[in-house]
Amino acid sequence: MEKDIRQPLLHADAELRPSSPPRWRSPRQIATHLIVLLSITCFAFYSLNFRPFARTEQIPSGWLERCAWRDLSPHIDLLDVAPITRDEFLQRQSILAAALDDAGVDAFITEPSASSSYYANISTSFELSERPFLVIIDKDAQFSYLAPKFEVGRIAGLEMVYKDKKVIEWPEEKSPYDVLAKATGYKKIMLDEHARFMIATGLQAAGIEAIPTSQTIQSLRAVKTEEELRILRGINGFTLQLVRSLQKCIKIGMTQESVVTAASRLFGRAGVGKSFWAIVLFGDQAAYPHGGSSGKTISRGEFVLIDIGSKLHDYGSDVTRTILPDGSKVTKELMDVWYTVQAAQAAAIELMNVNETCSDVDAAARKIITDKGYGEFFTHRLGHGLGLEMHEHPYLNGANGEKLRTGEVVTNEPGIYVTSEQAKKLSLDVGFGIRLEDPILVSNQDGPGGIVMTGSRAKSPYEP
Ligand SMILES: *[C@@H]1O[C@H](CO)[C@@H](O)[C@H](O)[C@H]1NC(C)=O
Ligand SMILES: *[C@@H]1O[C@H](CO)[C@@H](O)[C@H](O)[C@H]1NC(C)=O
């Protein structure tokens, strides 16, 4: 869609080129020609690189990416973090086994999911079909799986982690659940929360009682180890640096799509582009927390909301900043709203200690926003757990009486969203959406509050 930026230069060149025969006669004329040529080149250069872009089509494709990369590339070593080791996978299996024993169940059963990824390195890239492939860890830490007989070869090729394995094959002419019951003798199992209903009913029909994942076992995955925290710090820290590098280069007139494209390429250049996602919203489009229509360009006086992430070793990043391009200003009222969101985030971080209740943390952020009169415009929960899943336990919302545990990583993302329609009633010119989000590590002592996994919080719309 963007025009080739070299076009005008070529035209200028062509006009300058004398028609044959060449009529250079004196050194003076040659010098004049050179000066004219130089002036035009300088002007073209100036208009491409230094003048704030007035129209979208003047922004060369790839310019934003190149500009941001200069700032971002020194931070690439943030991603230099080791993946989860075999020992840690085996450790997870034995911790799970002990918890199953305590709970009085024979085994934990999951389909390919974040849980199978967590316990045995079997990711969801093995897609679910109507034929069950079940990953099993029992109370003696025995790893096994139930697989369709004709798929056994393909499944054996996965990079699973186990001490030793038992394979339970089910032929097409038999019920997989009857085969499982007969092979294991299980009476009662705990089923992963993402397992499908047909798995639960199939097991029950074969005489195996299936119970939902307990909170204790859920929290094994919610509480992060040092290895996991290093990965989460790496990818979230890098993601924030990427947003900062974009802020330095975004110009009035750019489209939302050009920002998304640049961001995607920046993650790609850093080697973590595969799971990239982004929500980029300008001005009143951000009044809808998850989107607006495409094609909009940034105008002066509009915030840019960037909610963005990717994955490193299967662990996700999730960072939001609401920024202003350098030189762009919003009204004092809008700046005040920005600082209200910042204060709400701070109030909740202070509470993100062990044993604080999820609903209380949500309420702490909400109170700051409500006191400023924007309570009804903070329309979503405060945050969610982050790890192998982009949204996982625990959830910071008003209905969750669960207590935080040391080592959980939870996003803290207050926002205020006012549509242009609603703005009129508040005597504001135009709608807007402002959100600030950092993943926070729940701290182990009372008092200091959570630890910011991106490295630092936003200081202003110009210092994200
Ligand atoms: C886990 O699987 C990935 C591929 O999905 C592989 O690169 C990695 O080495 C595996 N980890 C272990 C500890 O085997
Ligand atoms: C958190 O609560 C649990 C159970 O109520 C208690 O055993 C533990 O000591 C508490 N932790 C802290 C740091 O207060």
- Residue range 230-252, pLDDT digits in tens: 999 999 999 999 999 999 999 99
Fold (CATH) for 64-78+224-452 = Creatine Amidinohydrolase (3.90.230)
Alpha-helix residue ranges (DSSP H) falling in 174-225 = 176-184, 197-205, 215-222
47 lines ligand 2 (CB under 6 A): no
Residue 56 has pLDDT above 80, yes or no: no
Q: What is the pLDDT of residue 290?
A: 66
87 lines ligand 1 (CB under 6 A): no
Residue 45 has pLDDT above 80, yes or no: no
Question: How would you classify the pairing of strands 304-309 and 319-323?
Answer: antiparallel
Residue 176, classified by CB atoms within 10 Å of its CB into exposed (0-12), middle (13-18) or buried (19+), is buried
Residues 6+ apart with CB under 8 A from 83: 231, 313
Residue 133 has pLDDT above 70, yes or no: yes
CA of 402 to the centre of ligand 2 (A): 13
Question: Which residue is associated with the tokens 């060149």?
Answer: 13
Handedness of CA 135, 136, 142, 147 (dihedral sign): negative
121 lines ligand 1 (CB under 6 A): yes
pTM above 0.85, yes or no: yes
209 Ramachandran zone, left/alpha/beta (phi>0; psi -120 to 50): beta
pLDDT band, residue 31 (cuts 50/70/90): low
125 lines ligand 1 (CB under 6 A): no
pLDDT band, residue 35 (cuts 50/70/90): low
Pocket test for ligand 1, best of 90, 159, 231, 313 (most atoms within 8 A of CB): 159
* Residue 29 token pair: 């004329």
Nearest-angstrom CA–CA distance, 319 and 251: 21
Domain boundaries, the chain: 64-78+224-452, 104-222
pLDDT band, residue 10 (cuts 50/70/90): very low
159 lines ligand 1 (CB under 6 A): yes
* Residue 349 token pair: 């971080």
What are the C-alpha distances in Å from 400 to residues 37, 270, 372, 411, 426?
Answer: 70, 38, 25, 15, 32
Residue 43 has pLDDT above 60, yes or no: no
Q: What is the pLDDT of residue 179?
A: 98
Q: What is the pLDDT of residue 296?
A: 87
416 lines ligand 1 (CB under 6 A): no
Per residue in 388-420, pLDDT (tens digit) is 999 999 999 999 999 999 999 999 999 999 999
Give the residue, by CA position, lying nearest to ligand 1 atom 9.
159
In this structure, the chain runs to a length of 464
Instruction: Compute φ and ψ for 166, nearest 5 degrees.
Output: -115, 130
Q: What is the pLDDT of residue 25?
A: 61
Give the residue, by CA position, lying nearest to ligand 2 atom 9.
355
Pocket test for ligand 2, best of 355, 360, 405 (most atoms within 8 A of CB): 355
The beta strand positions in 111-228, using DSSP E, are 134-138, 143-148, 165-170, 188-191, 209-212
Q: What is the pLDDT of residue 34?
A: 67
Nearest-angstrom CA–CA distance, 140 and 119: 14
pLDDT band, residue 20 (cuts 50/70/90): very low
Residue 433 has pLDDT above 50, yes or no: yes
Q: What is the pLDDT of residue 39?
A: 63
Nearest-angstrom CA–CA distance, 7 and 461: 36
Residue 49 has pLDDT above 80, yes or no: no
406 lines ligand 2 (CB under 6 A): no
Residue range 104-222, CATH number: 3.40.350.10
Residue 298 has pLDDT above 90, yes or no: yes
Q: What is the pLDDT of residue 125?
A: 84
Q: What is the pLDDT of residue 414?
A: 98
124 lines ligand 1 (CB under 6 A): no
For residue 58, which of 40, 42, 46, 67 has the smallest C-alpha distance? 46
CA of 414 to the centre of ligand 2 (A): 27
6 lines ligand 1 (CB under 6 A): no
Q: What is the pLDDT of residue 28?
A: 74
Ligand 2 atom closest to residue 444's alpha carbon, by position in its atom list: 13
pLDDT band, residue 444 (cuts 50/70/90): confident
* Residue 10 token pair: 């070529």
pLDDT exceeding 90 applies to what percent of the chain?
A: 81
Average pLDDT score over residue span 63-69: 97
Nearest-angstrom CA–CA distance, 83 and 409: 18
354 lines ligand 2 (CB under 6 A): yes
For residue 339, which of 306, 372, 305 has the smallest C-alpha distance? 372
CA of 121 to the centre of ligand 1 (A): 6
Give the residue, by CA position, lying nearest to ligand 2 atom 4.
355
Q: How many CB atoms lie within 10 A of CB 49?
A: 10
Residue 439 has pLDDT above 80, yes or no: yes
Residue 9 has pLDDT above 80, yes or no: no
Average pLDDT, the chain: 90
Q: What is the DSSP string of 292-354?
A: --S--B--TT--EEEEEE-EETTEE--EEEEE--TT----HHHHHHHHHHHHHHHHHHHT-BT
Q: What is the pLDDT of residue 17?
A: 37
Q: What is the pLDDT of residue 36?
A: 65
80 lines ligand 1 (CB under 6 A): no
Residue 192 has pLDDT above 90, yes or no: yes
Angle among Cα 272, 276, 277 to the nearest 5 degrees reads 160
